[in-house]
Amino acid sequence: MSRDLVVALSGGIGGAKLALGLSRIVEPDNLLVVANVGDDFEHLGLHISPDTDTLMYTLAGLDNAKLGWGRRDETWSFMETLAALGGEDWFRLGDRDLAVHIERTRRLRQGESLSGITADFCRRLGVGPRVLPATDDRLRTRLRTDEGWLDFQDYFVRLQCHPVVRELAFEGADNARPHPGLLAALRDERLRTIIICPSNPFISVEPILAVAGMRQALAASAAPIVAVSPIISGRAIKGPTAKMMGELGMTPSAAAVAERYGDLLDGYVMDVEDAEEAAQVAPKTTLAPTLMTNLAQRENLARVVLEAADALASSKRGRDLVA
Ligand code: FO1
C-alpha cells in the first residue's frame, strides 16, 4: 500500500503558495488543502470566505499576486459605485470576486454547505486538489486588543492590524465539528503527512486547531506532522505575525512558532537563515530556503517538506511498533 495522501492546513497567501508548490508534485486526488474559516464574515449581506477563496484562486491560477487576495485582472466598478453612494468601502470586493460571494451566499441560503459549494466552485475553475473548509460550522476569529474586542476583519482590514493584540478567541469553535472528509483523511492508512503551511499561527492555523476534536484527530494520526516556519530572521514575509508575537509576549522567531505548536509537531522546516535557532527547536528540524517568490521556490519547498516527512515517517512508525 502506498502512502501518497497529503493533508495541508493553510491560511491565505503564505499557505496558498506552498499549497501551489505541493499541487505541482502531488497527484490532485492525493492533495487535501484545509482552509481556515476564522476570517470568514458577513459583509454587505454576503458570506465572504477569504482563505478558502485565496486557496481556490491560487490553485486555479487566478490569484491576484500583487494584492495577495482576490482575483487577477480584477476591475473595481462595483466598489467605485458603492463608494460614490456613500456605502461601506473599507473592504474591497472586486467585480469578478463579487460573483463568487453572491453565488456562494445564494447557495448557502438554500441550505448547501460551505464545503459543497467550495468543491463545486473548484471543479468549475479547474482546481485539481480538494480545498476543504476546516469546518462547515460557524467559527469566527475575534481579538481582544487595546481598543477592545474586535471582529477579525475589523482588526485586519479596517484597522490595518494597528491595535495591540492581547488575546484571541475563536467564537463557535467549541461547537464546530471538523469536516468529516478531513477526519476520514486523517484516519486513512494512505496518509503520508500532515503539513502545517507557513501561515500565521494565531489567526490562520490556530482557528483550524481550535475546532472541537481537531487537535486530538491530528495527534491520533499515524502520519508525521510537519510545520513550515512563517518567520525568517525574526520577520514575517507578509502580515502581522511578528508584530502579534511581540504583543503576545513572545520573541518573534522561527523557534518560538515551533514552541507554540508544541507536541503537535514531529518535524519543523525552518529557513537556512535561522540555522542557529535549530538547537532550540524540540521537533526534528530541516533547514531550507523558505522564501517563495516564484514557482520553482514553491515547488522546491514542497519537495523538501515531503522528504522531511518521509524521513520522519519511518521513525514514527518504528516508534509505534515498539509502543
Ligand atoms: N484584505 C485587505 O487587506 N483589504 C481588503 O480590502 C480585502 C478585501 C478582500 C476581499 C475578498 C477576500 O477574499 C479577501 C480580502 N482581503 C482583503 C483579504 C482578507 O482580509 C484576508 O482575511 C486576509 O488577507 C488574511 O488572510
Region class of 165: left (phi > 0), else alpha (psi between -120 and 50), else beta? beta
Residue among 44, 157, 202, 238 whose CB has most ligand 1 atoms within 8 A, to mutate: 157
Could you report how far apart the first and last alpha carbons of the chain are, in Å?
22
Series of mean pLDDT values for 10-residue runs along the chain (323 residues): 92 93 97 98 98 98 95 97 97 98 98 98 98 98 97 97 97 97 96 96 97 96 96 87 91 94 96 94 94 95 97 73 54
Model pLDDT for residues 180-224, shown as the tens digit of each residue:
999 999 999 999 999 999 999 999 999 999 999 999 999 999 999
Supply 227's cell numbers: 510545520
pLDDT of amino acid 322:
56
What does the buried/exposed string (b/e) look like for 280-307 if buried means 16 or more CB atoms within 10 Å of the residue's CB?
Answer: ebebbbbebebebeeeebbbbbbebbbe
Distance 13 CA to ligand 1 centre (A): 10
Homologous superfamily of 5-322? CofD-like domains (3.40.50.10680)
Distance 102 CA to ligand 1 centre (A): 16
- In short, whether 92's Cβ falls inside 6 Å of ligand 1 is yes
pLDDT of amino acid 323:
52
Strands (E), 108-209: 130-133, 140-145, 148-151, 165-171, 191-196
Distance 50 CA to ligand 1 centre (A): 6
- In short, whether 43's Cβ falls inside 6 Å of ligand 1 is no
- In short, whether 74's Cβ falls inside 6 Å of ligand 1 is no
* 257, 278 contact by CB (below 8 A): no
- In short, whether 156's Cβ falls inside 6 Å of ligand 1 is yes
- In short, whether 199's Cβ falls inside 6 Å of ligand 1 is no
- In short, whether 38's Cβ falls inside 6 Å of ligand 1 is no
Distance 19 CA to ligand 1 centre (A): 19
Identify the sign of the CA torsion 209, 176, 53, 252: negative
Model pLDDT for residues 132-178, shown as the tens digit of each residue:
999 999 999 999 999 999 999 999 999 999 999 999 999 999 999 99
pLDDT of amino acid 318:
55
pLDDT of amino acid 2:
87
Name the residue with the closest Cα to ligand 1, atom 19. 50
Name the residue with the closest Cα to ligand 1, atom 21. 50
Tell me the HSE value of 229 on the side-chain side, using a 13 A CA sphere.
34
Domain residue limits, the chain: 5-322
- In short, whether 51's Cβ falls inside 6 Å of ligand 1 is yes
Of ligand 1's listed atoms, the one at least distance from the Cα of 39 is: 22
pLDDT of amino acid 303:
98
